[in-house]
Chains A and B, each alone.
Chain A
Amino acid sequence: MVHLSEETLSELLDGAPGAGAQEHLAACSVCQGELEGLRRLRAELRELPELEPPAELWSRVEARLPGAPKARRSRFGWPTLVLMQAAAMAAIFVIGLGVGRMSQPGEEGAVESPVALTAQPAAMTVADAMEVVQRLGTEYDAALANLQRLAQREGQPMPSLTEQRLASLDMLVEASRTALSVEPADPVLNSYLFAALAERDAVLLELGESQGEGSEVLWR
């Protein structure tokens, strides 16, 4: 038996069959099965789920809209951003020390030579800079924890390391203060300043203890 062609089955599916197709279909179970299969597939096509667009799609669309900012606007001027970047660099410097200490625990020069003084690309906005600083703050904590473990294992950290940490924290404090002079009510900046101050105080205490009584400690 010659069965219905795919064109004729397609026409039947759309309700517009050619002459004789209905008669053949009524008598042919094979073609009935074919047609039913096509009907099911069409139903499945129509029931395919909606898809989620890529997460970054809106930013791509936005960049093409008239009036869209070329980059996110900053609440701060560039001098502030530069300082925030300097703070980030300082944190990286300290982390580099920690990493160096961890990676070469037995070597004399490991503590003195900063490792991974990573150059960060210029932050486009203060939000970017703050994100970097906050992330680095977390990493800084982790690096310090490593240093403390090493200190317990190998003795007290060298004063030069502590002084470098102090210098780095000074930079962070100054950067935070400068940023706060522009946005004094910014809660993130305030909390960051307090954290940096507390950290600096702790380092100063540590420095004082390592130098013993009578040593001169400069409280800044």
Chain B
Amino acid sequence: MVELTEANLVRRARSGELEAMRELYELHASRVYTVVRRLAGDDDLAADLAQDAWANAFQKIRDFRGDAAFGTWVHRIAVNTALTRLRQSARRRDLEQSFDGKSTLGNPDRWPVTAAAERVTVQRALDMLPEGYRSVLWLHDVEGYTHEEIGTRLGIAVGTSKSQLSKARARLKALVVGAKAEVVDHGTS
């Protein structure tokens, strides 16, 4: 029944019915906002990204063939919109620097050590990660993207994606657990 209703909404939205678009929006607004918010790490930017994603989706809804569920389709658009925008933004320039290890953001050795008293939630810790770390971590560990897909979308090498992921995980753990990186001697295996 839900699928039938949604298919009907999509059909009406494709013919330009604003009310149908609104109903589709309300059905999937949380999911779309969540993914762009996780990638953005910031409320205002997330709102801009969600707005772009939905506008893109409805402007391209005639291209939606129904091969996947509408929610999956719009979710993918949201991820692509967010990554494109982030890549183009000034924040993205910081991200590029982080990939070559020249910036403070990208160099974990320059991060302040989080004391146990400053433990934060996973959600907050995610926001505190550098953008490049956060993007790779979320795309890989939650969205299920492969390193090859991440490399393509972010314009980085597969090896860089793997490296960013391991650093992101370590940093997230340090933020949440409050553990110092020095506790474990990170030598080579």
Residues in chain A within 8 A of chain B (CB atoms): 1-11, 13, 18, 20-21, 24, 30-31, 34, 37-38, 41-42, 44-46, 48, 50-54, 57-58, 60-62, 64-68
**Given known contacts A30-B184, A53-B30, A61-B55, is B16 in contact with A38 (CB within 8 Å)?**
no
Interface SS of chain B: helix, strand, loop or mixed?
helix
Q: Are A21 and B173 interface neighbours, CB within 8 A? A: no
Q: Is B25 an interface residue (CB 8 A)?
A: yes
Interface SS of chain A: helix, strand, loop or mixed?
helix
Convert B125-143 into 0s and 1s, putting 1 for each residue whose CB lies closer than 8 angstroms to a CB of A.
Answer: 0100000000001100110
| Residue from B18, B126, B189 within 8 A of A62 (CB atoms) | B18
Q: Are A51 and B189 interface neighbours, CB within 8 A? A: no
Query: How many B residues have CB within 8 A of the partner chain?
Result: 47
Residues of B within 8 A of A7 (CB): 162-163, 166
| Residue from B16, B123, B177 within 8 A of A66 (CB atoms) | B16
Residues of B within 8 A of A34 (CB): 184
Q: Is B165 an interface residue (CB 8 A)?
A: yes
Residues of A within 8 A of B25 (CB): 58, 61
**Given known contacts A52-B33, A65-B55, A65-B58, is B189 in contact with A24 (CB within 8 Å)?**
yes
Residues of B within 8 A of A11 (CB): 162, 166
Q: Are A9 and B122 interface neighbours, CB within 8 A? A: no
Docked Cα-Cα span, A42 to B137, in Å, equals 9
Docked Cα-Cα span, A76 to B166, in Å, equals 62
Name the CB-closest residue of A to B188.
A5
Ordered by A's residue number, 17 sampled pairs between the chains whose C-beta atoms are within 8 Å are: A2-B188, A2-B189, A5-B186, A6-B166, A7-B166, A9-B169, A9-B170, A10-B165, A11-B162, A21-B189, A38-B173, A41-B169, A45-B142, A45-B172, A52-B30, A57-B51, A64-B55
Chain A min CB distance to B67 (Å)? 24
Docked Cα-Cα span, A53 to B165, in Å, equals 28
Name the CB-closest residue of A to B186.
A5
Docked Cα-Cα span, A58 to B51, in Å, equals 8
Interface members, chain B 140-185 (any A CB < 8 Å): 141-142, 162-163, 165-167, 169-170, 172-173, 176-177, 179, 184-185
Residues of B within 8 A of A48 (CB): 38, 122-123, 126
